[in-house]
Amino acid sequence: MSEGGQQGAPVHGKGLAYASLFGRFVFRAPDGAEIVISNRRVRALLAMLCLVPDEPLERDYLSELLWPGRFKSHAKASLRQCLLELSKSFGSEGQDIVQVTRSRVSLHAAAVSTDLGELEKALKGGDYEAAARQLAINGTAPLLEHMEFGDAFADWLARHRAKAEQRLEAAIVTGLAALTRTGDQELHDRLYMSWQQRNPSGQSITVDDRAAGKTPIAVLPFRSASLSGDQDYFTDGMVDELITALSGVAGLQVAGRTSSFHFRDSTMTPAQIAAELGVSHLVEGSVQRQGEKVRIHIHLLDGTSGFELWGSRFGGVLDDIFELQEAVARGVTEALASALGIALRAPVVGNLSNSKEAYDLYLQGRAMNARLFGDGVLTRAAELLEQALAIDPEFAEAWVLLGDVHQRMGIYLAGTDQTEASAKMADCVRKALAIKPDLGQAYGLLALHEFTRNNIVGALDLAFKAYEVEPGNSAVAIRLGTMLLFCGLTTKGMRHLDEAIAQDPVDGRHYMCRCPGQLNRGDIAAAIADGQRCVDLGFPSMWLGVALAAAGEHERAVECYQQTRHMLAHSIPPPSGTGAMPPAMIDAYWLTAAKGVCSGKAEDRETYCRTLDFLHLSMEDKQHLAITLPAVLMGHAELFFKTMGTQITLQNLACLMSIWTEIEPMCHIWQHEEFIPFAQRIGMAEAWDKYGWPDLLPMPSNRA
C-alpha cells in the first residue's frame, strides 16, 4: 500500500475474499482459509471498511476512533503502521482489497463479499429461502461483536449497526408483502420468525400488519367495579385467561402478562402505552361481579390514535365462566379481524376446572403468587392452591401454579429447605403433566429440579421440550435461555432471552437475565442498557452496578450496586444464633459489598472476600445466594467451588450464568484449574457433549 494524491497500491488478495460480520469478525481468503489478524486495531479497521463497503473513511477520523486519547501526531503515525500491517496480511498478489490515499481509506467492494451483503442481496433479489436460512444462522449475533475502542468508536459502530438493521427491516417488510401476495405462507412465516428472533431492539417488528402476518396486541388490566378491591383477583384472572386465549390465535402476537400489567393505573395515553409495548392495538375493559353474575365491558383501541374501534358487553354466571371468557375472546378476535380486513381463527378457552369454588381459589392463589414480595404472600398462595386441589385434584393448571409457588418459596422465602422445595415443585408438575401433557411451564419447572440434581442433560432436554410445547410463552423462553447461559452456551441462550423480551418487553426480570448475557458476549454498553432498563422497571440495580464497573465507571457502579439494599435489605440471613441485622448494619454491609464488587480496588475486594468467608463459616445455609453470587462477581474461585461444588439449589443456580465472561475478576472462575473437574462432577461436561461446547471455554486436550 502506498500513499499519494492518487489511489495508492492496494492490499492484495486472490479472487474474491469473504468477511463474516455477524458475531466475531472473520476474514477469509478466496480458498476459504481464515486470515488471522492478531493486531486488534488492524482487524477493526478492516472490519469497519467491510461494514461500510461503499463509504471511504477519513484517515483523521479513523485515527481518532481507534486511538482515542492520543496526540494527533501519535494517532496518525499509529494508523500508518496499522495500514502497513494490513498490507502485509494479504501479500502481493490478487485483486485490490483496500485502497489508500493521503486523506482516505476505502474498500474495493468488488473484491470482497460479506455475510451482511449476501443477506441484503438475497432479500433484494427475492431469494427469501436463502434469506430466512441466513437469518436463522446469524441468530441474534450483533454486527462486529467484541470490538471496543472507547466511546467514539462505540457510537460509530452503534450508528452503522442501526443503519444496517434498518435496511434489513425495510427489505424484510418488502419480502413479507411479496410472499403474502404470492400466497407462500410457509416461507412467509419462516422469514418473519427468523427476523423476529434477530430483532435487536427486543420489540415487535414494526412492519405493516398484513405483511408481517402477526398483529401485535396487548390486553391491559381491566378495571374492577368492586369499590373495596376484594374482587381484583377475579378481574385479573379474566385478563390472564383472555391473554392466554388470544395468544393461541394464529396471526396474533400478544404481549405478556407482566408487560401488560405494568401499565395498571398508568397516566400514559393509550398511544404511549402501545408505543412502549410495540403493539398496534390495545384491549381494555372492566369487570363487574355481583354474586353469581358477571358482566364484562370490553373495548378495542387503535394503538396509534387511541380511538375506540369496537366495544361490547358480555354477561354470564359463574357456572358458565369459561363460556363467558370464550365469548369475550371471540368478540375481540372478530373485531380485530374486521378492523384489519383479515381472517383470524376463533380462539378456544379450555375448561380449567369443573368446580367454580376451586377456580376461584386458583385465581386468588395466582394473584398472590404474582405479588411475589410481601410478608406471607407465597405461604398464603400455597394454602389457597392446596384448597383448590383438595376440591378438584384434576386441576392441572393449579398443580403447575403450586409447583411454581414452591419454586419461589425456595428462592425467596428465608429458611426454606432448598432440597425439599425442589422436590415438592417436581411432585406438583409431574401430577400436572399426568393430567395434561402439553403444559410447557410444567416441563420448564421440572427442568429446574433436574438441574439441582446434577442431571443437566435431562434439564436441558426438558427445557427444550417446554419450548416445543409452548414456543409463545415468554416464561418458557426465558427459562430455556438462562439454562443455556448456565452452561456457557451464550449465543444459543441469548437468542431465547431476546425472544422472551420480544414477547414480554416490560418485564424487568427478563433484562436482569439478559444483562449478564451481554457481559458474557463482551457487549458492555448493551449490558449497561439492560441493567438500566431493569432498574427502570423496578428491579434491583445490582447488575447495573456490575456492568458499570466493567465499563470503568466505578463510583457510579458502587452507588448503583448499593441501592439494591432497598429491595433486598433482608436477603442476607444473619449468622447462626443472632437476630435480624439493624438498619445501620444492613447499610454498612451493602456498602462493603458494593465496594468489594464494583470499586475496582484490591483492598475493597479483599475486605469483602473476608466478609464472605465469615458468612460461609457462620451461616447455616452454606450455599446461600448471598455467598455464591458475590463469590462469582469477585472471582473468589475457592469459595465458589466450596459452595456451588457442594450443592446446586433453586436459589443459587442462577450464579452459573455469570461465570462465562472474560471480564476481570469474574473470569477467574472458568479459568481456574479446578473448573473442568467441577463441570464434570455436576454433569455440565456431559451436557456439552450433547448441546455443544461453551462459546468461551477452550476445549482441553486432556479432558477426562
The predicted structure's pLDDT at residue 206: 38
Scanning 602-674, the segments in alpha helix (DSSP H) are 602-618, 625-633, 637-643
The pLDDT tens digits for 459-500 are: 999 999 999 888 778 899 999 999 999 999 998 999 899 888
Q: Are residues 249 and 182 in the same domain?
A: no
Give residue 540's domain range: 531-672
Considering the domain boundaries, does residue 443 fall inside one?
no
| Choice between 89 and 681, residue whose per-residue pLDDT is larger | 681
- Residue-wise pLDDT for 420-449, tens only, equals 999 999 999 999 999 999 899 999 999 999
Rounded Cα gap, residues 442 and 318, in angstroms: 27
Percent of the chain with pLDDT over 90: 36
pLDDT for the residue numbered 379: 92
Question: Among 496-500, 675-679, 695-699, where is mean pLDDT lowest?
Answer: 695-699
At 295, is the secondary structure helix, strand, or coil? strand
Is residue 467 one of the residues assigned to a domain? no
Angle at alpha carbon of residue 336, lines to 283 and 262, rounded to 5°: 25
Cell numbers at 136, concatenated: 436463522
Domain check: are 281 and 159 in the same one?
no
**Contact (CB, 8 A) for 548 and 519:** no
Residue 335 placed within a domain: yes
**Residue 358 confidence (pLDDT):** 93
Per-residue pLDDT at 385:
96
657 and 536 inside one domain? yes
Q: Cell for 260?
A: 401488560
Q: pLDDT band at 577, cuts 50/70/90?
A: low
- Per-residue pLDDT at 338 exceeds 60: yes
Residue 211: the pLDDT is 33
Q: Are residues 346 and 220 in the same domain?
A: yes
CATH number of the domain to which 47 belongs? 1.10.10.10
Residue 416 within any structural domain of the chain: no
| Residues 648 and 682: beta-carbon distance below 8 Å | yes
**pLDDT band, very low/low/confident/very high, at 12 (cuts 50, 70, 90):** very low
Considering its fold, how many domains does the chain have in total? 4
- Residue linked to cell 383472555: 242
Clarify whether residues 586 and 620 are in a common domain: yes
Q: What per-residue confidence (pLDDT) applies to 99? A: 81
Question: Which CATH number characterizes residue 255's domain?
Answer: 3.40.50.10070
Lowest-pLDDT range, 161-165, 213-217, 237-241? 213-217
Is there a domain that residue 479 lies in? no
Q: Which residue among 150, 179, 203 closes a domain?
A: 203
Both 664 and 541 in one domain: the answer is yes
Give me the pLDDT at residue 702, please: 43
Q: Kindly report the average pLDDT of the chain as a whole number.
A: 84
Q: Is residue 365 part of a domain?
A: no
Q: Which one of 292, 326, 351 terminates a domain?
A: 351
Q: Is the pLDDT of residue 541 over 50?
A: yes
Please tell me whether residues 134 and 109 are part of one structural domain. Answer: no
> Rounded to whole angstroms, how far apart are CA atoms 45 and 49?
6
Q: Where are the alpha helices (DSSP H) in 621-683?
A: 625-633, 637-643, 675-681
List the grid coordinates of 42.
488492524
Amino acid at 463: A
Non-local (6+) Cβ contacts of 164 within 8 A are 51, 116, 143
User: In this structure, are 169 and 197 located in the same domain?
Assistant: yes
pLDDT band for 11, please (50, 70, 90 cuts).
Answer: very low
Residue 680 domain-assigned (yes or no): no
Q: What's the CA gap between 619 and 626, in Å, rounded? A: 10
Q: Kindly indicate the confidence band of residue 354, based on its pLDDT and cuts at 50, 70 and 90.
A: confident
Same-domain pairing of 179 and 239:
no
Compute the distance between CA of residue 647 and CA of residue 645 in angstroms, rounded to an integer: 6
- Mean pLDDT of the 165-192 span: 78
Average pLDDT estimate for 352-371: 89
The side-by-side arrangement of strands in the sheet containing 96-100 is: 11-12, 96-100, 104-107, 57-58
How do residues 37-53 score in pLDDT, each as one tens digit?
Answer: 888 888 898 899 889 88
State the angle between helix axes of 396-412 and 418-435 in degrees (0 to 180), rounded to the nearest 10: 170
- End of a domain among 351, 383, 414? 351
Asked whether residue 21 falls in the same domain as residue 137, the answer is no
pLDDT band at 571 (very low <50, low <70, confident <90, very high): low
Tell me what pLDDT residue 686 has. Answer: 94
Q: What angle do CA 212, 218, 222 make, to 5 degrees?
A: 160
Same domain (yes/no): 170, 256: no
Report if residue 701 sits inside a domain: no
- Residue 344, φ and ψ in degrees, nearest 5: -130, 135
Specify the 3-state DSSP secondary structure of 374. Answer: coil
Interatomic CA distance for residues 676 and 39, integer angstroms? 30
Claim to verify: residue 245 and residue 344 sit in the same structural domain: yes
